[in-house]
Amino acid sequence: MTAVTAWRADPYTDALRNGRGPLFLRRDDGWLLPLEVERWCEAPDRADRRVLERCRGTVLDIGCGPGRLVAALAAEGRRALGIDISPEAVARTARLGGTALCRSVFAPLPAEGRWDTALLIDGNIGIGGDPSALLRRVGQVVGPTGFVIAECASVDVDERCEVRVDDGRGGRVGRVGRVGRGSPDGRSGPDGRSGGGGPGAPFPWARVGTRALARHAERAGWAVSGRWDLAGRHFLELVPRSSAVRR
């Protein structure tokens, strides 16, 4: 089974419908990584606005969640598409006026190889548990002059782990960390429903800080062309290494 099942089941769907958590990714050691559902369901904040300002051309938001970024771009008359494996996330994006497909980044995508900007915001660099593999896939999705804006963890970390979707009511609770939006659409993952506070089956996830992301990007054929911090959040802009050499 795939991670699709977990993100289509409660409690994630309930959290998006209600516009609030609590919701976590739970490691097997009991560490709960909060998912910032309330922020995702609000209008773009200052850090989001900086990301939107840096987007150019056509924009693909990978793991778009409830669609605040896609809807904001659409409101400006810009061509943007969100992809997410949660039907509720896609439906909420549409209600905000954005366009989204219920699709994994690893599945065939519209306009593949022609997107100008790809977004991996709110922790979505963790999709699939392998940032290098994810970035190689994104390299197939964007055009030859396209680029990626990726959000990093706020700490210097390079972690691959297994997690479960959890609303915090089931299982033991350990230390609490911080992670981004979620809605990962990796190729493998949980197959159990997690309603009623019970966590689903584990699936792969990753967390990377700025230094680790730069290393993964290099392995995947990207170069860092910009970096910035705002409102406690951290971002890198990546361009194809061949494009960086030409510059």
Per-residue pLDDT 10s for the chain (247 aa) are 455 555 555 678 889 999 999 999 999 888 899 999 999 999 999 999 999 999 999 999 999 999 999 999 999 999 999 999 999 999 999 999 999 999 999 999 999 999 999 999 999 999 999 999 999 999 999 999 999 999 999 999 999 999 988 888 754 433 444 434 433 333 333 222 233 445 566 789 999 999 999 999 999 999 999 999 999 999 999 999 987 655 4
Give me 55's structure tokens.
């987007």
Spatial separation of the C-alpha atoms in residues 28 and 211, rounded to whole Å? 26
Enclosing domain of residue 65:
3-246
Tokens of 132: 């290098």
CATH number at residue 170: 3.40.50.150
* pLDDT score at 5: 54
- 21 token code pair: 């958590």
pLDDT at position 13: 86
User: What pLDDT, on a 0 to 100 scale, did the predictor assign at position 244?
Assistant: 61
Q: What is the pLDDT of residue 184?
A: 37
Work out how many domains the chain is built from and give that number: 1
**Burial class for 173, CB neighbours closer than 10 Å (0-12, 13-18, 19+):** middle
Going across the sheet that includes 142-152, the strands are 100-102, 80-84, 59-62, 115-120, 142-152, 233-240, 222-230
**What is the spatial distance between Cα 9 and Cα 4, in angstroms, rounded to a whole number?**
9
